[in-house]
Amino acid sequence: MSEATQEEQRFVRDDWYGAELTGRHYVRCEFHETDLSEAVTLNSVFTDCVFGNVRFNASRHTDSAFTGCTFKRCNFFDAEFTGCKFVGATFTECELRPLRVTGGDWSFAGLAGADLRAVTFQGVRMREADLTGANCGGATFADVDLSGAVLHAVKLPKAELRGSDLSALDPLNAELTGAIVSPEQAAVLVTSLGLRVRA
């Protein structure tokens, strides 16, 4: 195990404000009431870790991974994730606004009931992610792969959805008032309603 790898460690009330974590690897570690505000991660990997009451405010993350991690009551105010992986990660009672995500893989992520109003997901893979009952009013999901996603009772009023895969979206079980879609996406939604469009 390299010096950059730590396994099954527990960090409580640590002050990592503004820390720069490059090439680190944490496996099954726990972070509680840790301050990661304005921290920067690059090519770092967190595998099956637990984050409780952790502050990610204004932090920046590039090409890092948080696979299988659990986030509970964490604050992501003004956080940015670029090219990051959150495959299988779950979020419970977290503050996720405003949040900007560009690229990366959030497949199988658990975001049920999350408040995602006005957040931005651009070019993200979110296959089979759970967005049940999530409030995504005014959010941007641009060029996002939502195939197989769980979108029951999702709220998407005034959301920007152009370029995203909406094949898993049932318009009868979602709030879509004012959502912006492309003509091609509109055709998909019409078909899911059992309608046929003829000139």
Q: What confidence tens digit (pLDDT) does each residue in 84-143 have?
A: 999 999 999 999 999 999 999 999 999 999 999 999 999 999 999 999 999 999 999 999
Give the dihedral of Cα atoms 164, 170, 176, 182; nearest 10 deg. 40
pLDDT reported for residue 194: 85
Cα within 13 Å of Cα(18), Cβ side: 0
pLDDT reported for residue 74: 98
- Coil vs helix vs strand at 26: strand
Cut 0.75: pTM above it: yes
27 vs 197: CA distance, rounded Å: 52
Whether the pLDDT of residue 2 is over 70: the answer is: no
